[in-house]
Amino acid sequence: MEIELNVFNLGHLAAMTLGLASGLVLFYFSFKHNPSLFPLSLGQLSLFGALMVNFLIITQLLYHFPPLYRFGNVFAFIYVPLPYLYLRLHLSNRRFQWTDLVHFIPWLIYVIDFWPSFMLSNEEKLRMILLEDAAAMNNFNQSRFFPPGFYPIVRALFVNAYWIAQIVLLKKWFQSRARMSTKEKIWWRWIVTMTTFQFFLFFPFYISLFWANPLLSYHMVNSVGSLILLVSSMMVFFYPSVLYYQLPQKKRVLKTGSSTEPELTNGHPPDFPENPELAKTLEEKLSENNRFLNIRYSIHDFADDTGLPAYQISHYLNQHLQMTFVDFVNKKRIKYCVEQFESGRFVAFSMDAVAKECGFNNRNSFTKAFQKFQGTSPSDFRKIIIKKSDRKSGIIKA
C-alpha cells in the first residue's frame, strides 16, 4: 500500500516529526528546569499521538497497525485540558498536582466506554478497519453508554470551554501587568498566537451544524492540529526562551542593604530604593575579566556571576537606570570601543572585526548600538578620531 505524498500528508508528517521531538525536549526540561512545562510537553506528545492515528487513517496504513484502532480520541481527550493546565501552572509557577487529574475525567469515561473495542483482537479490529473510510471511521459509534455522535460533540464543547477559560486567565494576567519585560512580551505574543489557533479546533464543529459536511470538518480540525503542533514545535527550537521562561512568582530577593528580604507580589519584584553600591557592584562585575566582551553573555550568566536573581537585576536596571540588560552590556561595549578607537588600536580594523572585538554578533547590531550611545556611526567616529590624531601630529590632509 503506497502513501500519496501530497502537501496535506507532508504537512502532517512534518508536524508529527517536530511534535514528537519538541515534546520529548519539553518533557526533559519540565523535570530539569521548569515544572510548569509538563502539561505543555504532554500536550505536544498527545497531539502527536492523535495526528499519528489520523495520518494512519487517511493513508489507510492503519491496516498495518490495528492495535491503534480507536486510539485517536484517547489522545485527543488527553490533549483537551492541557493548554489550559499549562497556562495555569505557568502563571502560578507551580508543579502539576494530583488534583489536576480531575480535568481528565472525560478521558477516563471515554476509555471505560470503549474498553471492549480496545480489547478486541487484531483480527477483529482489522475487519472493522476494512469496512470504513476516514470520515466513516471517525463517526462510527461503538459506545456502550451514549448515542451515536456523542463524543465529537462533547470533545468540541470541552475544547470550547477550556479555550474560554484560557481567555479569562490571559485577560486577568494582562490587566495585572503595568509593564511587561521583553521576555514577557515575547511569551505573550506566543501564547496569544497559540490560543488563536486553538479557536479553530472547535469552530469547525459549529460550522458543521449549519453546513453538513463531516469530512470537511474532520480535515479542518486535523489540519489546525497539525498547524498548532508545527508552530509550537518551531517556537521550542528557534525561540526556546519563550517556553523555558518562568514568570517570577513568590520568590525572595537578596538583601540590598535592608534588613528584610521582600517577596514578589503578583509576579512583580518589589520597588526598592536606588542603591549606588549595587549599581557600582553590577558595573564592576560586568567589567571583571571583560565579561561584557563575551558575545553570548546573557543576564542568566550575569546572575550566576553576581549571585543576584536575574529578575532582580532586570528590575533594578529598568527602575533606576532606565535600560534593559542588553543596553547595560552594550553601553559598556561601546565605551570600550571608543577607548580603543582613541588609543589607535582599531584604526586598521574592518568594522566587522571591530564588532566582534567589542562583543557583538554582527556589524548591524554593533552600528545600531554605537549610534544609540554615541549619536554617530562607528565609521564616522573613527574618521573624526583619525583627523584629530593627524592634527596633533601636524599632518594636514587635503
Report the alpha-carbon distance of residue 140 to residue 137 in Å, rounded.
5
State in words which class domain 7-244 has. mainly alpha
Sheet strands (E) in 45-122: none
pLDDT of residue 212: 57
Report the alpha-carbon distance of residue 26 to residue 28 in Å, rounded.
5
Half-sphere exposure of 283 (CA within 13 A, CB side): 10
Half-sphere exposure of 97 (CA within 13 A, CB side): 7
Domain 276-392 CATH superfamily: Homeodomain-like (1.10.10.60)
Count how many residues are written for the chain.
Answer: 398
Report the alpha-carbon distance of residue 221 to residue 200 in Å, rounded.
7
3-state secondary structure of 375: coil
pLDDT of residue 266: 43
The torsion angle over the Cα atoms of residues 179, 181, 187 and 193, rounded to 10 degrees, is: 50
Report the alpha-carbon distance of residue 258 to residue 247 in Å, rounded.
25
**Which stretches of the chain are DSSP H helices?**
7-32, 38-58, 72-79, 82-92, 105-113, 115-118, 122-130, 134-139, 150-176, 182-210, 214-238, 240-244, 276-287, 299-306, 310-316, 325-343, 351-357, 363-374, 378-392
pLDDT of residue 260: 37
Report the alpha-carbon distance of residue 121 to residue 119 in Å, rounded.
6
Report the alpha-carbon distance of residue 64 to residue 59 in Å, rounded.
11
pLDDT of residue 165: 95
Q: What are the beta bridge partners of residue 265?
A: 268
Report the alpha-carbon distance of residue 3 to residue 222 in Å, rounded.
18
284 by Cβ neighbours in 10 Å (0-12 / 13-18 / 19+) ranks as exposed
pLDDT of residue 130: 75
Q: What is the pTM of this model?
A: 0.60
* Residues 227/197, Cβ–Cβ less than 8 Å: yes
Cβ neighbours for 91, distance < 8 A, ≥ 6 positions apart:
169, 173, 247, 249, 267
pLDDT along the chain (398 residues), means of 10: 67 88 89 84 93 86 87 92 92 85 94 90 83 56 82 89 94 79 79 89 78 67 84 80 57 39 44 65 88 88 83 80 88 92 86 92 91 91 84 58
Q: What are the sequence ranges of the domains in the chain?
A: 7-244, 276-392
Q: Radius of gyration over alpha carbons of the chain, in Å?
A: 28
Cβ neighbours for 252, distance < 8 A, ≥ 6 positions apart:
261, 262, 263
pLDDT of residue 5: 64
